[in-house]
Structure 1
Amino acid sequence: MRKLPNLAWLRSFESAAQHLSFTVAAQELGLTQTAVSLHVRSLEAELGCKLFTRAARRLALTEMGKAYAYSLRQALGDMAFSTASLFGAETGQMLTVRVQMSTAGLWLAPRLPEFAKRHPGISVRLVSNIWARSEAPEQVDVELRFGSGGWDGVATRKISAERLVPVCAAGGGRLTPEKLRQGPLVQILGFEDMLLRYLNAHGLVPPGDAAQFAVDTTVAALEIVAAGGGYAVVLERFALTAIGTGKRIEIAGDPVPVDQAHYLLGVAAPAEQDAGKQLFEAWLEEIFQ
């Protein structure tokens, strides 16, 4: 069996891969930027393979670097989980988690008690924004974002595959794509392309006139749909969670895959929060499968 590389080198590489920055990795690990860079170069030399491509003010993972970072991140997550399971999580940890409002209300919040049961020593402070580009002033430890990925200057890790479904009030029956198009429609501001993507998948385009209702969250859209106010196109996981919690809606058509997904962002956490952050992010990946 091949000897494992130096663990300090591995930790420096994992942090640099997450943030795509030696400087941020150094801040996270309490090292100098030079030390992190040296660790990564030493690891590359031992492996005989480049893990990063380096350019002025830009760091990018090679294909081998991406594959290795994923495997290493999984291994570190497993180690953190095993340590907490066998010896208990550190007490008094508070993680600040930022996520878009609809994901918070329709997916994450109902599942947080499960995380608390597994890790009673970790408290979670959940803060929300409406759209992916909204910037909240507070420092966060974990950030989850829905979209197409590739946000400038931010390292991301895809943790979900998503599908779109049309929804109507309970008892409304199935909708053909043409009937959905005829409305009445409930549009979700910032996510108007969901209706477009769903109809395009069936060879249709949205109507030119305005929707009956326009709201800024999926939560509000589902309330209107449940009250008989029209139809909406939402993420399948959101619809299933709402139905499971008693919302009077139903899925009214076949799901359509979408190339958008939920991503974990490479947010630096204080050293004392790192174990909790690893555990929470590993748990997020689990529940989004």
Structure 2
Amino acid sequence: MDRLPNPAWLRSFESAARHLNFTTTAQELGLTQTAVSLHIRSLEAELGQKLFTRNARRLELTELGQSYSLTVRRALSDIALSTNSLFGPASRQTLTIRAAISTATYWVAAELSDFSARHPDIPVRLVSHIWNDSGKPGDVDVELRLGYGDWPGVRSEKLTDERLVPVCRAGDGSPILNNGPLIHILGYEDNWARYFQANGTAPPDQPPRFSVDTTVAALQLVMAGAGYATILERFAKNAIRQGAPIAIAGPAIPFAQSHYLVSAQRAAQPTAAAGLFCAWLRDRLATDAAD
């Protein structure tokens, strides 16, 4: 690490540079005047330069002291700001939700404004990942996963039944896709075969035009007119409500996977905020099912 003076000396120097008075500095920092004076002398000895001119009745910063005080003040302010943001009281109350990037983008984020309106005192942090094994269930307050609910070492609560639909750029729809170019999503490469089979149609005898690793990327290609993708009906409808220039291009078929709430086998009691979010989510899904 580059040369760095004792942080306690820097803290005393920053305060003394503001007050130009060792007694006031000592009171602010909860130190004795002797300790503050020792910190300043030690810092000056470390730097090999005088930082203050000591007059009979007052202190004055030297030119070097004035320049250095601005840098030290900014650095200490940045540390304080980061500390308060990451570890302060607000951070301890923040609800952290983790979900796959497509679930986060096209479901959770689309619904969060309603939760926030009901619970404006709960700050929310939404983090996303591509694969389900990207983190441990105990790392966050709430985790949503899409799958079969058979993950080892975790408890899972089924939330949804999902359906699959093909989507195209708005205005490009046609019966059973009109042999348009197909976009595959890695990990779900068999979705197209299942879709064509469910509709009694043979899949086109051609390789996929594009293969991507997220629904987000697939929808960007769809919106650009690059082809058709199969995605969850829930995602498609939310994307359309958000103004995405896409359309559902065929009937929905059942999808074997579901969304689950996931927690560690020996998870601690959920926080109050997590409990409120899970209750809100179940209620929201029940309302959607009724509609």
- Measured in 2, the distance between the counterparts of 1:212 and 1:91 equals 45
1:211 matched residue in structure 2: 208
User: Residues 220 and 147 from structure 1, CA distance in 2 versus in 1: closer, same or farther, beyond 3 angstroms?
Assistant: same
Q: What secondary structure sits across from 2:134 in the alignment?
A: coil
SS in 2 for 1:286: helix
- Displacement, 1:240? 0.6
Conservation of the 8 A alpha-carbon contact between 1:92 and 1:123: no
Q: Which has the higher contact order (CA 8 A, sep 6+)?
A: 1
Corresponding position of 2:96 = 96
1:129, 1:136 within 8 Å by CA — same for their partners in 2? no
User: Using the alignment, how far apart are the partners of 1:150 and 1:91 within structure 2?
Assistant: 32
Aligned residue number for residue 230 of structure 1: 227
Task: Map 1:115-126 onto structure 2 (within 5 A).
Answer: 115-126=115-126
TM-score (norm 2): 0.61
1:1-289 correspondence runs (5 A): 93-135=93-135, 139-176=139-176, 179=178, 182-204=179-201, 206-207=203-204, 209-267=206-264, 271=269, 274-289=271-286
* Deviation string, structure 1 residues 144-174 (Cα, Å, up to 9, x no partner): 0001111112211110111111111111133
Count of aligned pairs: 196
Q: Give the Cα separation in 2 of the matches to 1:206 and 1:132.
A: 29
* Corresponding letter in the other structure for 2:237: L
Q: CA deviation at 1:193?
A: 2.8
1:209 shift after superposition: 4.1
Unaligned runs of 5+ in 1: 1-89
Identical counterparts, % of pairs: 51
Please give the root-mean-square deviation of Cα atoms over the aligned residues, in Å: 2.4
Q: Name structure 2 gaps, 5 residues minimum.
A: 1-89, 287-291
Residues 115 and 137 (structure 1), Cα distance of their counterparts in 2 relative to 1, 3 Å cut: closer
Normalised by the length of structure 1, the TM-score is 0.62
Deviation of 1:137 after TM superposition, in Å, equals 9.5
> Cα gap change, 1:141/1:252 in structure 2, threshold over 3 Å: closer, same or farther?
same
- Structure 1 residues 115, 92: CA separation in 2 closer, same or farther (over 3 Å shift)? farther
The 3-state SS of whatever aligns with 1:121 is coil
In structure 2, the residue corresponding to 1:190 is in which secondary structure?
coil
Structure 1 or 2, whichever has the larger Rg, is: 2
| AA matched with 1:288 | L
CA apart distance, 1:101? 0.3
Q: CA–CA distance in 2 between the matches of 1:148 and 1:106?
A: 20
